[in-house]
Amino acid sequence: MSTTLVWGTITVYVLIALVIAVLSRNGKQNSMTGYFLGDRKLNGFVSALSYSATTYSAFMLVGLAGLTYNGGVGAFGFEIIYFMGVSLVAIFGPRFWLVGKKYGYVTPSEMLGDRYKNKWVAVAIAVSSCIFLIPYSAVQLTGIGYLLQGVTNDAIPFTTGVVLATVLALVFSYIAGIRSVAWTDSLQSLLMIITSTIVVILIINGLGGLSGFFNSLETNNPSSLAVPGNGFFNFWTFLGLTIPWFFFSISNPQVSQRLFMPASLKSLRHMLLGFLIFGFIYTFVSVIWGFSASIMFPNLENADLATPMLLSSDLVPPVLGVLVMVGIMAAAISTIDSILLTLSSLFSRDVYQNVKKGATDKKQLLVGKLVIPVIAILAYLFAQLQLDLIAVLSVSSSAGLIVSVPAIIGAFFWKKGSAVGVLSSVIISSLLVITLELFSLKPLNLASGIWGLGVSTILYVGISLVTKAPTEKANEFIGYIKQEMKKKKRIDVKSKIS
């Protein structure tokens, strides 16, 4: 790809995104809720697009296509199981939203700290989120570096790509907090869904239409259409991969925090349904890309090259190819800027506020804003170092964050859950996941995520049963949700009758 074209497209994209970010500055950003949650006033459309952009990082169009290239249709199944897991939002979404509004929660860990009546619960969950998500961001940055370097034949060096992405993520989150993030996210996801779908149509046509496409797969690579197929996706691997991702929508704070933001339950519903439709199309697109690359370039050494090869092929016009490439870069940035924002809110709300007594809302916001560049620089440094440990933590991020799932479910549905139960389950299971990943251990042939979930559930339930639960708070918290959900039901019945 021509370097001038790549730089030109990046420049145009950045200019448009900056204009949108600046325009998004309505409302007040001088409070924690204003800056990090958009005053809980986001509309459904922007929420849906931004939720999609945050969830689907560059992993989707590079990694999932690569996974399909290597393992066939199992990659599709993996992503569909994740997709099904987003249904958890239909159950947990209104509950998060209701208590968020009532108690003024800014972060999911703050909610757990309050629900279990123990500030260390908030601190522990916030810190464990940082341990896994900063490396995850670093790896996204590394990805952008390699991508730009690869498609321009080293004309844009690795470091330039990484610096560019770090600066953009920082700028997008700084201009207006969550509002600028949400609006630039929306630009990115619209650009991506349109351009990547056009690419699919062009490629399928080029390969002889749908029947031609599937015929070549069925003839040349039949095992790619079944699981375990070539053995890549044996059942236990599939289970180990899918379990952590299934719970992604409630375990990862950069997306679960989104459940506090919609203006109404109606907006929350639009966010969920909009995301499902978007995600379904996106999943299809990425998988078709991977399959197409396996037809067109069957002997790639590195499966992550499937997407770049496809986009530089004769079937895709160069301008479109570059546009999608820049879109992939933007996809990584849209994931990183949301994580930056979420982590800085976790730090100021859950660590700083709990350690420094009497920190006002203004002070917390100031600390949050100061921490954003610190986290960005940390991610940048990690990306430059390219340490093995960073890669390990990033890969294990979804498995590592799963350890808070029992505590989250319990917060809403089990009055006996105790703070000691949460602390022991989160801390011990996080360390277990890191150890398993670090030494590449798979006891009983089960992946780290399954161990993380299993052990954290046993510890949470077991230790809660023998320690004291905050009964009064539990009754109030769960009782409030029950009463509000009943109201919702009455309205529901009324609307059916009328």
Partner 1 sequence: MLNEREKKWGIIIAIIIFLGYLLPYTLLREVTAWYGSFLLWAILGIIIIWANIKLTQGWGEEE
Taking the C-alpha atoms of residue 173 and residue 181, their distance in angstroms, rounded to an integer, is 5
Smaller CB distance to partner 1: residue 268 or 332? 268
Q: Does 91 interact with partner 1 (rule: CB under 8 A)? A: yes
Token output for 225: 């259409």
Q: Does 426 interact with partner 1 (rule: CB under 8 A)? A: no
**42 φ, ψ to 5°?**
-70, 140
Q: Does 56 interact with partner 1 (rule: CB under 8 A)? A: no
Min dist. Cβ of residue 70 to partner 1 (A): 16
Neighbouring C-alpha atoms within 13 Å toward the C-beta of 259? 26
Q: Does 84 interact with partner 1 (rule: CB under 8 A)? A: yes
Of the ranges 30-38, 131-139, 186-194, 222-230, which one interacts with partner 1 (CB under 8 A)? 222-230
How many angstroms separate the Cα of 319 from the Cα of each of 1, 2, 166, 316?
Answer: 9, 10, 25, 8
Taking the C-alpha atoms of residue 144 and residue 35, their distance in angstroms, rounded to an integer, is 27
Q: Does 200 interact with partner 1 (rule: CB under 8 A)? A: no
Q: Does 412 interact with partner 1 (rule: CB under 8 A)? A: yes
Taking the C-alpha atoms of residue 488 and residue 189, their distance in angstroms, rounded to an integer, is 32
Smaller CB distance to partner 1: residue 103 or 284? 284
- In three-state secondary structure terms, 153 is coil
Q: Does 87 interact with partner 1 (rule: CB under 8 A)? A: yes
Answer whether 342's CB lies under 8 Å from 253's CB: yes
- In three-state secondary structure terms, 42 is strand
Of the ranges 50-58, 75-83, 377-385, 437-445, which one interacts with partner 1 (CB under 8 A)? 75-83
Determine how many CB atoms are found less than 10 A away from the CB of residue 2. 13
Smaller CB distance to partner 1: residue 11 or 264? 264
Applying CB under 8 A, which of residues 226, 319, 355, 377 lies at the interface with partner 1? 226
Helices (H) then strands (E): counts for the chain = 26, 0
Answer whether 339's CB lies under 8 Å from 254's CB: yes
Smaller CB distance to partner 1: residue 9 or 283? 283
Min dist. Cβ of residue 84 to partner 1 (A): 5
111-115, long-range: CB within 8 Å, 24+ apart, which pairs? 111/411, 112/404, 112/407, 112/408, 112/411, 112/422, 113/350, 113/354, 114/473, 115/411, 115/470, 115/473, 115/474, 115/477
Applying CB under 8 A, which of residues 94, 177, 421, 470 lies at the interface with partner 1? 94
DSSP sequence for 270-318: HHHHHHHHHHHHHHHHHHHHHHHHHHH-TT-SSGGGHHHHHHTSTTS-H
Q: Does 482 interact with partner 1 (rule: CB under 8 A)? A: yes
Applying CB under 8 A, which of residues 32, 73, 176, 474 lies at the interface with partner 1? 73
Min dist. Cβ of residue 471 to partner 1 (A): 16
Q: Does 488 interact with partner 1 (rule: CB under 8 A)? A: yes
Q: Is the CA virtual torsion 342, 348, 352, 357 positive or negative?
A: negative
Smaller CB distance to partner 1: residue 238 or 347? 238
Min dist. Cβ of residue 198 to partner 1 (A): 20
Q: Does 476 interact with partner 1 (rule: CB under 8 A)? A: no
Beta-bridge mates of residue 262: 42
Q: Does 284 interact with partner 1 (rule: CB under 8 A)? A: yes
Min dist. Cβ of residue 410 to partner 1 (A): 12
Applying CB under 8 A, which of residues 355, 370, 389, 485 lies at the interface with partner 1? 485
Q: Does 264 interact with partner 1 (rule: CB under 8 A)? A: yes
Smaller CB distance to partner 1: residue 36 or 278? 278
Number of residues that bind partner 1 (CB under 8 A): 52
Token output for 150: 């690869």
Q: Does 101 interact with partner 1 (rule: CB under 8 A)? A: no
Smaller CB distance to partner 1: residue 219 or 440? 219
Applying CB under 8 A, which of residues 227, 310, 390, 447 lies at the interface with partner 1? 227
Name the residue type at position 488.
K
Q: Does 471 interact with partner 1 (rule: CB under 8 A)? A: no
x/- mask, partner 1, residues 349-388, rule CB under 8 A, reads: ----------------------------------------
Taking the C-alpha atoms of residue 70 and residue 293, their distance in angstroms, rounded to an integer, is 10
Min dist. Cβ of residue 482 to partner 1 (A): 6
Token output for 426: 């989160």
Determine how many CB atoms are found less than 10 A away from the CB of residue 201. 11
How far is the first Cα of the chain from the last one, in angstroms, to the nearest whole number? 60
Tokens 């708070």 belong to residue: 473
Min dist. Cβ of residue 419 to partner 1 (A): 21
Q: Does 473 interact with partner 1 (rule: CB under 8 A)? A: no
Of the ranges 4-12, 19-27, 55-63, 259-267, which one interacts with partner 1 (CB under 8 A)? 259-267
Which positions touch partner 1 (CB under 8 A)?
Answer: 73-74, 76-77, 80-81, 83-85, 87, 90-91, 94, 214, 217-218, 222-223, 225-228, 235, 238-239, 242, 264-266, 268-269, 272-273, 276-277, 280, 283-284, 412-413, 478, 481-482, 485-489, 491-492, 494-495
